[in-house]
Amino acid sequence: MKLASVILDIPTQALDAPYTYAVPVDDGEGDLSIEVGCAVLVPFGGRRAIGFVIGIGEHAEGDWPEGLDPAKLKGIVRAVSRPYFDEEGAACARWLSERYIAPLSSCVRLFTPPGGVPRMVRAREGYWRLEEPAVGEVDDRWVVPGPALAQFEPRKNAVKQASIVAAVRRGELRVAELAAEFGAVSGPLKTLEKQGVVRIEHRRRMRGMQPGEPLSEQAGGFTPSPKPPLTSGQAKALAAIDAARQRAAGEVVLVDGVTGSGKTEVYLQAIEAALDAGRTACVLVPEISLTPQTVGRFRGRFGDTVAVMHSRMSQGERFDQWDFIRSGQARVVVGARSALFTPLTNLGLIVIDEEHEGSYKQDSAPRYHARDVAVWMARRAGAAVVLGSATPSIETLYACAKDPTWHQVALPERANGKPLPEVRVVDMAKEFSAGSRSMFSGALSRALAEELSAGRKAVLLLNQRGFAKFLLCRECGFVPECPSCSTSLTYHERGNFLICHHCGYRVPAPSVCPECGSPYLKKFGAGTQRVEADLRVLLDETPGVGPDVPIVRMDADTTSGKGAHQRLLEEFAAADAAVLLGTQMIAKGLDFEDVTLVGVINADTMLKLPDYRAAERTFDLIEQVAGRAGRAELPGRVLVQTYEADAAPIRAAAAYDRALFLRDELPKRRLLGYPPYVSLANVLVWGKDEPEVRRVASGLQDELEKAVRDFGGEGWSVLPATPCVLAKLRGTYRWHIVVKAPIHADISSVLLPLFRHRKPEKDVNVAVDVDPDDLL
């Protein structure tokens, strides 16, 4: 008898183990197309449910799996889909569930097509019914010439027939297009089809593509984009990638290249080599960098064998791309982190561009990191992983130094031979002392006037990441910090107090600066709309600039609509002189030859977030945004406004000196016990009732301490339960408990049994974030 392991499509820890069902036999001729990866309808309790098959095995009568009671064995009702994934996908889902302590059903869901899975819904009458997928294939009906078209003459009063025939004689048309032009056409079409005048064909249409655009067959005239000659650094990087891929051992190559060093061309040629070897490739790009400009470079080289997956596409477009990949016709997938889980077979290369980006970490279950999943997949598939960045993460640099299967290749110069732009740090505390009250320093105002009046472009970055408010003295730059944790204290408006969200240290907010006595204590940060308004006033009053210079604002508000991101970039590109004002999304992926000035409005915002990665993110952001200037013939310059002019991350970024930054940062990480020297898990607790959340968090802290004591060993610790930095979000109270373990310890194996067997609370949610990207 065939038995199937089925994970129910019900995302809860209480139903997190696979259930065993009998695979039905169809008249003795075999199973009903029930395979690993397909969705099935199964009985569960007093109703039916959807599940996913993650394993099938043959068992002789009496040779039952351990713990199975044959009397209680139920059969699968039927399959309701083709397979979404194979055995390797099922293995990855299991690994994700254990590694990131997440419901197995949530992990399996990663491998299913967007909107393309049937589900059970409760009807008003109380019973459950099967609902078909929200999206599927678009099957268009096309009207094409029939054998009798040339000789056909419609009757004089058959006006619609005549109109249809005249239209079809000019070329093939969709039925929907004829209906839009002539109204109801089904009757006349049936008549014409019977007479052989036209034929009706059913054709698959890919959403997001033009009708008639090829799906995977290369257009006859396709010519790949030319390959520029490689610099010595690029050639060395390409050789390292090819060697790692040929060894087929899941090795990692870090392409550590400054902005403009030609990392993308290295990726393209490495992918070409993988395709020539009969393998496929997956390219991950941060969501905000997935512009048509980026995708165009890959399609220009590999044509329509490139599939694209990202969140700005409609669900139908993503389903079509997913199905295109499953068909085997796509050989290169370009997308955000979820592109890892598309049904791409025979994987030979995984590229992760801007690997330091926080967007590669999923913020809901399963809270995976795309880099770590890619390495696991590559080892299983005998593929290679390429990580690219001008500012690699500290964890990646550490792995390259310690792990012989991780290799680092440097690209220290721009591909065009031009120098990196000069970075100047502007001390805003001195500006304030000199009487300036503007958010734009004198140096930045003058630079804007010079560049814009000369018809060139500027990029202004408002460093606005995070939500925590902190106090800063505008006279001396002092920021109140926790005496125990070396992080800034977070200002709470209600109650007027400062608190450390790591250890709970709390003090009243001072009315004057404790350092210099100044009353000018500023609660940081300004929004992009206010900056835009002030910038407009500044430009209007600047001789030679005036109101004709557009300000293109890019933030979460202006880019929320479909196509808005590209529209704003096109608007900026089309202008002679313009300012692009935005948040972190403008710090990468932009390549405009006439951008000669980059300004960072407030480098301190991220630096003073109460998070252990704050300094690293500040260093990364300044280096990344600096790279937007002077990318072609025109020289560039960068102005960084800060109240912390002497801070190591800012001084190091201004000098392009990573060693200086690491010399300052790594001892702090080691002393305070943060990655890369320890493994972290952040246990999150949230709910509507604050006392109940506090009670559950306190009890969970005790359980974690016991688990660590019993199974963890030396070097493990559990920090006290404290409110999160964002202690209340949309009416929900949030607490967390941080668990620290030695760097090579398997933190998941110690925590997994506790959370698998723990009964869920009625009104309080609990989740575990293994390897958190931040502790906010």
Name the band, by pLDDT with cuts 50, 70 and 90, for residue 30.
very low
Half-sphere exposure of 115 (CA within 13 A, CB side): 14
**pLDDT exceeds cutoff 80 at 208:** no
Q: Helix, strand, coil shares of the chain as percentages rounded to 5?
A: 35, 25, 45
Residues 341-354 have a mean pLDDT of 96
**pLDDT exceeds cutoff 50 at 215:** no
C-beta separation of 26 from 73 below 8 A:
no
C-beta separation of 306 from 275 below 8 A:
no
Tell whether the torsion through CA atoms of 320, 322, 323 and 328 is positive or negative. positive
Paired strand residues for 75? 22
pLDDT at 24: 87
Q: Which helix (H) or strand (E) holds 370?
A: helix 370-381
Paired strand residues for 57? 3
Name the band, by pLDDT with cuts 50, 70 and 90, for residue 218.
very low
Alpha carbon of residue 690 to chain centroid = 32
Q: Who has greater pLDDT, 305 or 304? A: 305
Q: Is 8 helix (H, G, I), strand (E, B) or coil?
A: strand
pLDDT at 209: 57
Instruction: Reply yes or no: is the peptide bond before residue 676 cis, omega within 30 of 0.
Output: yes
CA distances from 330 to 334, 386, 641, 683 (A): 10, 20, 46, 39
- Render pLDDT for 717-748 as a digit per residue (tens, 0 to 9): 999 999 987 777 777 889 999 999 999 899 99
- In this structure, what token pair is assigned to residue 98? 């254990």
- Render pLDDT for 551-583 as a digit per residue (tens, 0 to 9): 998 876 677 776 777 788 888 888 889 999 987
Distance, in Å, from the CA atom of 201 to the CA atom of 143, rounded to the nearest integer, reads 7
User: Residue 210, exposed/middle/buried by CB under 10 A (0-12, 13-18, 19+)?
Assistant: exposed
**pLDDT exceeds cutoff 60 at 432:** yes
Q: Who has greater pLDDT, 203 or 218? A: 203
Residues 475-483 have a mean pLDDT of 84
Distance, in Å, from the CA atom of 755 to the CA atom of 663, rounded to the nearest integer, reads 39
C-beta separation of 687 from 733 below 8 A:
yes
Residues 244-265 have a mean pLDDT of 95
pLDDT at 589: 59
Name the band, by pLDDT with cuts 50, 70 and 90, for residue 76.
very high
Cβ neighbours of 247 (radius 10 Å): 12
Distance, in Å, from the CA atom of 565 to the CA atom of 254, rounded to the nearest integer, reads 29
- Render pLDDT for 188-198 as a digit per residue (tens, 0 to 9): 888 999 999 98
Name the band, by pLDDT with cuts 50, 70 and 90, for residue 201.
confident
- Render pLDDT for 393-421 as a digit per residue (tens, 0 to 9): 999 999 999 999 999 999 999 888 888 88
- Render pLDDT for 125-163 as a digit per residue (tens, 0 to 9): 777 888 888 776 666 678 889 999 888 888 888 888 888
Q: Which of 3-17, 91-105, 587-601, 626-640 has the highest mean pLDDT?
A: 91-105
Cα angle for residues 634, 442, 469 (degrees, 5° grid): 105
Name the band, by pLDDT with cuts 50, 70 and 90, for residue 8.
very high
pLDDT at 501: 63
Residues 236-258 have a mean pLDDT of 97
- Render pLDDT for 652-677 as a digit per residue (tens, 0 to 9): 999 999 999 999 999 999 999 999 99
SS (H, E, C) 616-639: HHHHHHHHHHHCCCCCCCCCCEEE
Q: Which residues fall within 8 angstroms of residue 629, CB to CB, at 6 or more apart? A: 421, 459, 595, 596, 597, 598, 636, 637, 638
Report DSSP state, residue 711: I
Q: Who has greater pLDDT, 385 or 45? A: 385
Q: Who has greater pLDDT, 635 or 410? A: 410
Name the band, by pLDDT with cuts 50, 70 and 90, for residue 27.
very low
pLDDT at 280: 97
Residues 275-280 have a mean pLDDT of 97
Give the pairing type, strands 717-718 and 732-742: antiparallel
Q: Of 82-96, 231-245, 544-558, 688-702, which range is least confident?
A: 544-558
Q: What is the mean pLDDT of the chain?
A: 86
Strand order in the sheet with 19-22: 19-22, 2-8, 47-58, 39-44, 78-79
pLDDT at 217: 42
Residue type, 699: G
Q: Return the closest-CA partner of residue 676 out of 386, 434, 394.
A: 394
Q: Who has greater pLDDT, 707 or 12? A: 707
pLDDT at 536: 92
Residues 676-680 have a mean pLDDT of 96
C-beta separation of 255 from 409 below 8 A:
yes
- In this structure, what token pair is assigned to residue 315? 């669900």
pLDDT at 12: 67
Residues 629-649 have a mean pLDDT of 86
Q: Return the closest-CA partner of residue 271 out of 341, 339, 334.
A: 334
C-beta separation of 65 from 35 below 8 A:
no
**pLDDT exceeds cutoff 80 at 334:** yes
Name the band, by pLDDT with cuts 50, 70 and 90, for residue 38.
very high
Cβ neighbours of 753 (radius 10 Å): 11
Q: Which of 77-81, 340-344, 434-438 has the highest mean pLDDT?
A: 340-344
Paired strand residues for 755? none
Report DSSP state, residue 70: G
Name the band, by pLDDT with cuts 50, 70 and 90, for residue 613.
very high
Q: Who has greater pLDDT, 104 or 584? A: 104
* Rg of the chain over all Cα atoms, to the nearest angstrom: 30
Residues 261-281 have a mean pLDDT of 96
Q: Return the closest-CA partner of residue 374 out of 403, 410, 394, 344.
A: 344
Paired strand residues for 48? 43
C-beta separation of 636 from 421 below 8 A:
yes
Name the band, by pLDDT with cuts 50, 70 and 90, for residue 284.
very high
Q: Return the closest-CA partner of residue 354 out of 286, 259, 260, 283.
A: 286
Distance, in Å, from the CA atom of 300 to the CA atom of 735, rounded to the nearest integer, reads 49
Residue with tokens 């937007």: 628
- 427-457: b or e for each residue (b if 16 or more CB lie within 10 Å)? bbbebbeeeeeebbbebbbebbbbbbeeebb
C-beta separation of 114 from 319 below 8 A:
yes
pLDDT at 388: 97
pLDDT at 295: 83
Tell whether the torsion through CA atoms of 460, 624, 617 and 288 is positive or negative. positive
In which region does residue 744 sit, left (phi positive, over 0), alpha (psi from -120 to 50) or beta (all else)? alpha
Phi first, then psi: what are they for 729, rounded to 5°? Answer: -135, 120
Q: Which helix (H) or strand (E) holds 202?
A: strand 198-205
Measured distance between the N- and C-terminal CA atoms of the chain, rounded to whole angstroms: 51
Concatenated DSSP letters of 562-631:
TTHHHHHHHHHHHSSS-EEEESGGGSSS---TTEEEEEES-THHHHTSSSTTHHHHHHHHHHHHHTTSS-
pLDDT at 767: 93
Q: Of 294-308, 502-516, 621-635, 675-689, which range is least confident?
A: 621-635
Paired strand residues for 156? none
Q: Which of 66-70, 166-170, 487-491, 508-512 has the highest mean pLDDT?
A: 508-512
Q: Return the closest-CA partner of residue 446 out of 599, 629, 631, 603.
A: 599
Q: Who has greater pLDDT, 697 or 312? A: 697
Residues 94-116 have a mean pLDDT of 93
Paired strand residues for 732? 729
Residue type, 588: K
Paired strand residues for 765? 686
Distance, in Å, from the CA atom of 766 to the CA atom of 684, rounded to the nearest integer, reads 6
The model's pTM: 0.83
- In this structure, what token pair is assigned to residue 633? 């013939």
